[in-house]
């Protein structure tokens, strides 16, 4: 702590300079979409691809946002995050079992009610398990990345096995509610209904998170905690309680993402969370560890690239994510929006 300049009354009255918004990464997404248009050629398939990519991106964002926030706030990297995705997906079975009729009914209200219930149950379950996970697995290893990685991997193995023990080891098919099947057709543009639904949910969650983080007191504290946890603690706030609630909320978001992902794949396996974690890690690295906005941009970027490349050169699609990540890291080694400078 070196010398602080003494604050004169004059300085204190001048408003703080507004922090500059970093537009460049934000422009990346529309630029990419426009760039892909001439290559795809046909505007209607371009719209289809873009909507599909956006839907995919929103789902990845839902699953990744909690992880990146937890990392930013407390420098914890949870390699077991994927198991909350699986758990959220399996939680739909609790609802789909007794209420199967709601999904078969040709009524939008009942179908959406069913989805809403699935999401609620999944988020409640993953929040509870998340709180336990934080208490049992993560808390003893604060401040040690190596042990965190190991012990959260251990938690992943055990919880995955427990899912096997409870719901069985074979894949379980689940059906989309009646009115969310099929596609909207506008002219010759085809948009799958469920993907539009996923985009709406994703945007709503992103909007809600932005409001919470930027317009509420809790959000202010979380952002301050990401910036400088010791300072927040010194000001008398219980950063630990704040962190536990962020961890629980992050787990619940992963559960929500898990529900969306489950209905997208329409098959449940205990390993599905870990499979998608690869994308999640790529996304939070691209976005900058700890940045929610970066995570959003990264998710959409990766999903759009994967969709365009998959359409143009299917062979390349497998490595496109890695390629995007490598390019971003060459450009900005700490990700698009570097946050946690530790």
Partner 1 sequence: MKPAFLASAQPEDTGPSNGLLLRLLSSDGPRSRALAALLVVIVLGLAATPFLFGGSQPLGTAAKICVFIALAASYDVLLGYTGIVSFAHTMFFGIGGYGVAIALDRLGPTWTSVGLGLLGALALSAALAAAIGLLSLRVRAIFFSMITLAVASAAAVLASQMSTITGGEDGLSFQLPHQLRPAFRLFAEPVLGLSINGRVLAYFLVFFAALAVFLVLLRIVNSPFGRVLQAIRENEFRAEALGYRVVAYRTAASVIAALAATIAGGLLALWLRYNGPDTTLSFSIMIDILLMVVIGGMGTLYGAVIGATLFVLAQSYLQVLMGWANTALTGVPVLPDLVHPDRWLLWLGALFIISVYAFPGGIVGHLRRRH
Question: Interface with partner 1 by CB under 8 A: which residues?
Answer: 77, 79, 137, 140-141, 145-147, 149-151, 153-155, 157-158, 161-162, 164-166, 169, 274-275, 277-278, 281-282, 284-285, 289, 315, 318-319, 321-322, 325-326, 329, 333-334
Query: Which CB, 34 or 329, lies closer to partner 1?
Result: 329
Q: How far is the CB of 314 from partner 1 (least distance, A)?
A: 10
Q: How far is the CB of 330 from partner 1 (least distance, A)?
A: 8
Enter the tokens of residue 201.
């949910």
Q: How far apart are CA 111 and CA 117, in angstroms?
A: 10
Q: How far is the CB of 125 from partner 1 (least distance, A)?
A: 18
| 88, 123 Cβ separation under 8 angstroms | yes
Q: How far is the CB of 240 from partner 1 (least distance, A)?
A: 20
Query: Which CB, 50 or 299, lies closer to partner 1?
Result: 299
DSSP line for 257-280: HHHHHHHHH-EE-TTHHHHHHHHH
Q: How far apart are CA 275 and CA 86, in angstroms?
A: 10
For the stretch 319-328, contacts whose Cβ atoms lie closer than 8 Å and that sit 24 or more positions apart, written own/partner, are 321/278, 321/279, 321/282, 322/282, 324/282, 324/286, 325/282, 325/285, 325/286, 328/286, 328/298
Query: Which CB, 193 or 332, lies closer to partner 1?
Result: 332
Query: Which CB, 169 or 220, lies closer to partner 1?
Result: 169
Q: How far is the CB of 319 from partner 1 (least distance, A)?
A: 6
Query: Which CB, 82 or 177, lies closer to partner 1?
Result: 82
Query: Which CB, 76 or 115, lies closer to partner 1?
Result: 76
Q: Please compute, for residue 273, the number of CA atoms within 13 A of its CA located in the half-sphere on the CB side.
A: 31
Q: How far is the CB of 146 from partner 1 (least distance, A)?
A: 6
185 SS3 class: strand
- Number of Cβ within 10 Å of residue 251's Cβ equals 32
C-alpha of 130 from chain center: 15
For the stretch 181-184, contacts whose Cβ atoms lie closer than 8 Å and that sit 24 or more positions apart, written own/partner, are none
Which residues, other chains included, contact 120 with Cβ-Cβ below 8 Å and sequence gap of 6+? none
336 secondary structure, DSSP code: S
170 SS3 class: coil
Query: Which CB, 81 or 195, lies closer to partner 1?
Result: 81
Q: How far is the CB of 82 from partner 1 (least distance, A)?
A: 10
């Amino acid at each position: 702590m070196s010398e602080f300049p003494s604050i004169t009354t004059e300085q204190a009255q001048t408003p703080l300079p507004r922090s500059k918004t970093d537009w460049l990464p934000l422009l990346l997404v529309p630029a990419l979409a426009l760039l892909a248009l001439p290559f795809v050629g046909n505007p209607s398939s371009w719209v289809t691809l873009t909507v599909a990519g956006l839907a995919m991106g929103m789902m990845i964002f839902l699953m990744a946002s909690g992880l990146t926030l937890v990392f930013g706030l407390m420098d914890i990297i949870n390699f077991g995050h994927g198991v909350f995705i699986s758990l959220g997906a399996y939680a739909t079975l609790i609802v789909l079992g007794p209420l199967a009729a709601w999904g078969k009914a040709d009524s939008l209200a009942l179908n959406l009610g069913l989805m809403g219930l699935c999401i609620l149950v999944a988020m409640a379950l993953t929040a509870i398990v998340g709180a336990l996970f934080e208490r049992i697995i993560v808390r003893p290893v604060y401040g040690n990345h190596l042990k965190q990685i190991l012990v959260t991997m251990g938690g992943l193995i055990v919880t995955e096995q427990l899912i096997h023990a409870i719901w069985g080891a074979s894949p379980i098919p689940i059906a989309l509610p009646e009115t969310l099947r099929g596609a909207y057709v506008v002219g010759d543009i085809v948009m799958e209904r469920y993907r539009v639904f996923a985009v709406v949910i994703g945007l709503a969650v992103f909007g809600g998170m932005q409001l919470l983080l930027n317009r509420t007191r809790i959000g202010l504290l979380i952002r301050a905690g990401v910036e400088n946890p010791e300072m927040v603690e010194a000001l008398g706030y219980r950063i630990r309680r704040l962190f536990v609630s962020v961890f629980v909320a992050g787990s619940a978001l992963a559960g929500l993402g898990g529900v969306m992902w489950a209905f997208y794949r329409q098959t449940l396996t205990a390993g599905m969370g870990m499979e998608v974690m690869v994308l999640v890690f790529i996304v939070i690295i691209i976005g900058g560890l700890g940045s929610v906005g970066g995570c959003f941009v990264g998710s959409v970027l990766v999903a759009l690239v994967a969709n365009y490349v998959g359409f143009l050169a299917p062979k390349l699609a497998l490595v496109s994510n890695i390629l995007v990540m490598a390019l971003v890291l060459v450009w900005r080694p700490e990700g698009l929006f570097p946050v946690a400078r530790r």
